[in-house]
Structures are given as C-alpha cells and as structure tokens.
Amino acid sequence: NFKRLLLRMCRDLLMIVPCGRSLDRAWAEAVESAADEHAAQQNGDTALNLAAALIKIAKMIPVGLGAAMPIAAFLVGGEETRGVKARVRRLVEIASNGSGARVHQNATIRIALALSFAVVIIFSATVANSPQVLITVHALIEHAVKLLS
C-alpha cells in the first residue's frame, strides 16, 4: 500500500515520463491480481465467492459509464485495462485447478528469516557500539565536514 501511495503521489511526475502512464496502469493491475490471488489462496470457494462479488458490483455500473473514482476504474476496466472480465476468469481458473494460488510459506522458512534478521540486528548493534568503530565514523564525518567547508 505504501508503494501504491507513492505512485499516486507522484502521478503527475509519471505522466512526464514516456512510460509513466503504462507503469501506473501495470502496477494497478498487478496489485489487483495479487490481492485476488491472496484472497483466493485459502480454497476454491473463496475464489468463486470473490468472482461472484466482482460480477455483482460490475452489474451495478451502467453500461458505457466510465469510472469517476480511481478505485472503481480498476473494476470497470476499459480499452487500457483488463477490467473485471480478466479478474473473474483468473479467479475461476484458481478455483478450478489451484494453479494460480500462492504456495503457503513454510513455518521453518519464516523462523529462519526472523532469526537471520535478528542476528544481523544484534551484530550491527554490537559493531555500532564498538569504540573503534565510533572513533572511525567520527573521524570520517569530521573529514567530510572539513572538505565541504
């Protein structure tokens, strides 16, 4: 969500870049697809329920009416975006054979990642509190300030 917020805040800058509009559109479609897959990874029924909800919401939107709000634009789709049809097809595919569902991460992998992160943090804190490291960093900062003065 933070990355999406940054893209939305920089939307005007993206329009200056030649591929900015397509990047924004591709990002939005990828986020919607990932959210659909995440919601449907529990079982096939969840994927079908989500597809049914998307169809119900899409039927509420009048034919030929463009989405006034950016959030609804991902649902309606258009000539530039895939829209609800592709999302429903993907959800039905996930429900039928489970090929699109993400594989659940193993608990041991999560524990190993957490432990390695903790080891890196502890090592960094130990090195950062070393007097020799602090003296060296202080000398480098003073040298940089002297060069910039």
Question: CB 12: neighbour CB atoms within 10 A?
Answer: 8
70 pLDDT above the threshold of 60: no
For position 65, what pLDDT does the model report?
A: 63
Provide the domain limits for residue 70: 2-97
The pLDDT-based confidence of 91 (bands split at 50, 70, 90) is confident
Residues 82 and 12 reside in one and the same domain: yes
For tokens 């007097």, name the residue. 131
d(CA 80, CA 59): 20
| Mean pLDDT confidence for 79-87 | 68
- Whether residue 111 is contained in a domain is answered as yes
- Whether residue 68 is contained in a domain is answered as yes
For position 79, what pLDDT does the model report?
A: 44
- Whether residue 132 is contained in a domain is answered as yes
Residues 13 and 57 reside in one and the same domain: yes
- How many separate domains does the chain show? 2
Residues 133 and 88 reside in one and the same domain: no
For position 72, what pLDDT does the model report?
A: 47
Least confident range from 15-29, 41-55, 73-87, 88-102: namely 73-87
Residues 57 and 115 reside in one and the same domain: no
